[in-house]
Structures are given as C-alpha cells and as structure tokens.
Amino acid sequence: MFKKNIEKSKKNDLEEKTAKNFIFAPKNTPSIMINAIIVDDHELFCYGVKAAIANHHPDICIVAAAKTGEEFFRLLETTPAHIVLLDVMLPDMSGVEIARRLKKEKPEMKILAISAFHTQRVTQMILEVGINGFISKETGGIEMLAEAIRSVMSGLDYFGKDIYDIIYRILSAKKDISEIIKSFTTLEKKIIDLCSQGMKSRQIAEMLQLSPRTIENYKNIIFKKIGINSTAELIHFSIKNGIIEVAD
C-alpha cells in the first residue's frame, strides 16, 4: 500500500512537471525558421518590415538588410539566408541584375520582389529572370508579405493581385503576338527576313522576281498586322519576337 502511494506521488510529480513545461513553453514556436534578407534603399521601410515580422511572425527572421546590390552580395558571404526580399530599383543596380546574378551564384535562394515600381515592362523583365514572387508595396501589407514568404519557401510562386493583373496583360499580349506571327505567309516571312538584311523594296523585288509595287503592298500588309509604320519598327519587332536572329 505504502509502495503504491509512493508510485502515485511520483506519477503526480511527473504530471505536474510536464504540465508546467507545457504552460511555460513558448507559444507559436516555429519548427523551421525562415531567414530572410531585405535589399531596399529605404531605411524606414526595412526597419518597419523587420519590426512587424518580429512581432507577429516568429517563424520568419529578417537576418540582415542591404541598401545596394553590392552590399547584399557581401552580406551573403557571411550571412546565410533562405530568401531575399528584393526591391526592383536600387542605387547601384536593378533588381533584374541582382536576380540574374543570384540565379548563377546561389540558385537555391528564393527571390521575392517587393516594389512600388511595377510597370508592365519592369514586371516582364524581372519575371523572365525567374523570380519566385512579386508583391507591391502599395497594396501589400505585412500579412501578405508573410504569406508570400511562406508560399515561396514551400515551393509555390506568389504574386499580388495588381502584379497578377500585369502578368495577365503580358500573357495576353504574347498570345496576340503569337497569333500575328502564325498569320504570316511564307512570302511575308521571306520579305521580313530580306528587310532585316537591309534590302530595299526594289532589291527584294528583283530577288523574288516581283514588282517593287507588289513588295510595297506586302510590306504594308505586314505593317498593318503588327500595328507599325516603318521597316525599322518591323526589324525591331522581328528581333524581339524571334522571327529573325541577330548574329553574335
């Protein structure tokens, strides 16, 4: 009987200690900490993000901040991180340049672009590098930022609604251009190629055994399909969209 009481007492002590451990264990303790570096030349923005993340999202840690691209790459030598929160416009280099270099030097590092500057051209350029996400400073709050970081770290791409709208316009434009290119006849493609070689309508006409007026008519049809007005614009369009290639 006495032995049973001792065992019962030990059991109660163990349960009490265990309960205390649970009571005093930190809440929301992350199993895996996500280390992030901010690259932004606005000091107040960096400070605000770091403070807000520290207060509300314990699974994310802003381990460092850099004001320039070069400072960021120096930091990487001594400060390992899983993800970079990258502004698009910086004093010494663009976010596109940083992302491109990062893809070569640290391909395992995730890239989340955060910027107030997100025109269609800039968005397309940075997407082509292969970033993992893009949110706007204007519409994204700290909760969206935390959600974006977690999504990107889990292997999913993340884009804010305003960025997604831009991406949709980019994809729609590409689809339209693809349809235009498909509509070119073999003869039209040949004329585009000869124009890119610097040939005038008369020279093209002689080569293709057609009249100069016929070549001019074909060129006007091509111009209308693309929505341009000159041979120079035609050459630019053709190079940009891979219709003709430029030798190195």
Alpha-helical (H) ranges within 25-63 are 43-56
Fold held by 184-240: Arc Repressor Mutant, subunit A (1.10.10)
Residue 18 has pLDDT above 70, yes or no: no
- Residue 115 sits at φ, ψ, to 5 deg, of -155, 155
Task: Give burial (CB, 10 Å; 0-12/13-18/19+) of 84.
Answer: buried
Largest CA distance in the chain: 118
pLDDT score at 17: 36
**pLDDT tens for each residue of 47-69:** 999 999 999 999 999 999 999 99
**Does 215 or 140 have the greater pLDDT score?**
215
Mean pLDDT of 208-233: 88
pLDDT score at 173: 67
Mean pLDDT of 71-93: 94
Residue 29 has pLDDT above 50, yes or no: no
Average of per-residue pLDDT values in the chain:
82
**pLDDT tens for each residue of 99-150:** 999 999 999 999 999 988 667 777 888 888 889 999 988 877 899 999 999 9
Question: For 34-169, CATH number?
Answer: 3.40.50.2300
Kindly list the domain boundaries of the chain, sorted by start residue: 34-169, 184-240
